[in-house]
Homo-oligomer: A and B are copies of this chain.
Amino acid sequence: MERSVGEERIFSGRILGLERHTVILQDGSLALREVVRHPGAVAIVAFVSEQLLLVRQFRFPVQKYMLEIPAGKLDAGERPEDCARRELLEETGYVPRFLHKLITIETSPGFSDEIIHIYVGEVEKSQEPCPDEGEFVEPVLVDSKEVVKMIIGGQITDSKTVSGILLAFAGRESDKYD
């Protein structure tokens, strides 16, 4: 357990906040903790029959194009499942026939409070994508077994995408672990 005894707000931006806390550790000593605040997000493992619906986009912090499951940040007060449907439609033009909650992951619990609610579902095309202004996202359909091979082969490396897709497959085969 670590208890904050002093908080310094360093930055409050459009998406992120940054705080520095002085905390008391369990042996009574003091330490500093740098903490990135994030609004939380959702992501969707979206099956189109035997294919998975992914999105390709440039990620500025890591300076490369990445193949990920559709995802987006929660608006203030928004229910995660509503956010999943909204982001899926905006980024891909698809809508879910059904959605199940898979897991909520912490992406970087050592320095950030970001959580991502991951859903799995079967989806179908409804309209053209309608991304937010300044968002350039390319929907890509990939055979689902090929996607697993791309993860094993290191071509898909985003943590929510690796977690969500492998968990969707593990859940299907969970009788193996009984």
Contacts and interface: CB of A to CB of B under 8 A. Distances in A.
B11 A159 contact: no
A176 B21 CA distance: 48
B111 A16 contact: yes
Contact of A110 (B27, B61, B133): B61
A103 B136 contact: no
Interface residues of A, number: 71
Contact of A59 (B10, B15, B20, B106): B106
Nearest to A38: B111
B104 A108 contact: no
B61 A112 contact: yes
Interface of A: 1-2, 4, 10-11, 13-16, 18, 20-21, 23, 25-27, 29, 31-36, 38, 41, 58-62, 66, 68, 103-116, 133-134, 136, 145-146, 148-149, 151-152, 154, 157-160, 162-163, 166-167, 169-171, 174, 176-178
